[in-house]
Amino acid sequence: MNDQDWSPFGEELSSSPPRPAPSAGRATVPAPDPAARPSPRPHPPHDQTAPLRPPSAAKKQGRPDLIPAPDATAILPQIPDAPVPAPEGAESATRKKQTVKRHRDGEAAGKTRKTVRGVGEVLITFGVVVLLYAAYEVFGVSAEINNQQEDLSSELDVLWDTEGGEDGDAAPVPELGDAFARMWAPDIRPESWVIVEGTDLADIEYAPGRYLDGAYPGEQGNFTLAGHNVPAIFQKIRELEAGDKVVIETMDHFYVYEVQEHVVVDETQVEITEPVPGEPGVEPGEDDYWLTLFTCHPLWDNYERYVVYSQLVETYERDPDGEMPDEAIDAEA
């Protein structure tokens, strides 16, 4: 195909017979001048390729090209190189004062936080000390008392075996601080307490002590015992209820007392130790065989006394080789 046969519309030109002359009286369209025909489109060289349009561009025939040039658009706003001027009044005296005030307020807040933190640390330390003290009172003191009770119980067994072997009919008269009996209260403690003579602090450090002006176990009157307000001694007498049994074991007998009532009195009310409790000057009658237990009250102070009154209801002879009475070991008895 030669250049004259090439058409910009993709059709080949062929020679054709000349068109007939128009008839008279009709408008004619002048034939195109061959000399004005556009020059043929040159073929691209074989080593050049036309840029490819994206698929979306091919679907938009007749629309302007929507793909911008690489530098034709800016997605982010331009930040000028020149500094932005401060707002009007930024350097005013009022603004400076506000800045200074905020600075001082920040310092004050920091000092307050430090103070609060320090107070909190002190309170936490104090709380830890209190907990450690409470733990020592519950476990440390109790362990020490129980160890001493075991020693006193062993001494009491030796004493009873020795004295009973000599005459067999009389218990020895105890000296101050000496062990002379045991007390059982199965409703609040499975083990027994060893009872000592006297109520001085040195006497009752590790055991309940007998009030010296009171009766002895099983005697008419008021057998009164005082004990420290700690778990290993008399703290739990608050849990005794009316009808519960408290048993006193001596070398010869078991004396069974039954709980009657609880009272809280002032520390100066010594009438709780009278032969008839609470009735000074009254002589004991045939029913006045009392056991009075008391300790400090409330739990963490000592300005009052917690008192438990019991009355004698049963007496058993003690056989060193025999069994314990049920009331001494069985809470349901």
CATH code where residue 239 lies: 2.40.260.10
For residue 163, what pLDDT band results from cuts at 50, 70 and 90? confident
Give the residue-averaged pLDDT of 212-241: 96
Residue 180, φ and ψ in degrees, nearest 5: -140, -10
pLDDT tens column, 25-38: 444 545 555 555 55
Of 4-18, 102-116, 205-219, 312-326, least confident by mean pLDDT is 4-18
With residues binned 3-state (H G I as helix, E B as strand, rest as coil), the percentages for the chain, rounded to 5, are 30, 20, 55
Task: Tell me, yes or no, whether 316 lies in a domain.
Answer: yes
Task: Tell me, yes or no, whether 283 lies in a domain.
Answer: yes
Task: Tell me, yes or no, whether 123 lies in a domain.
Answer: no
Between 56 and 144, the more confident residue is 144
Q: At residue 226, does pLDDT exceed 60?
A: yes
Task: Tell me, yes or no, whether 97 lies in a domain.
Answer: no
In the chain, the amino acid numbered 101 is K
For residue 281, what pLDDT band results from cuts at 50, 70 and 90? very high
DSSP codes of every residue in 85-107? PPPTTTTSHHHHHHHHHHHHHHH
Task: Tell me, yes or no, whether 275 lies in a domain.
Answer: yes
Q: State residue 9's pLDDT score.
A: 43
Question: What tokens does 271 get?
Answer: 């009438």
Q: State residue 2's pLDDT score.
A: 45
Alpha helices in the chain (DSSP H): 55-58, 93-135, 141-166, 326-329
Q: How many CB atoms lie within 10 A of CB 62?
A: 4
- Cβ-contact 178, 197 below 8 angstroms: yes
Q: Which domain holds residue 251?
A: 152-329
How far is 225 from 277, CA to CA, in rounded Å?
Answer: 13
In the chain, the amino acid numbered 331 is A
- What is the count of structural domains for the chain? 1
Distances, alpha carbon 133 to alpha carbons 89, 128, 325, in Å: 64, 9, 39
Task: Tell me, yes or no, whether 68 lies in a domain.
Answer: no
For residue 7, what pLDDT band results from cuts at 50, 70 and 90? very low
How far is 198 from 174, CA to CA, in rounded Å?
Answer: 10
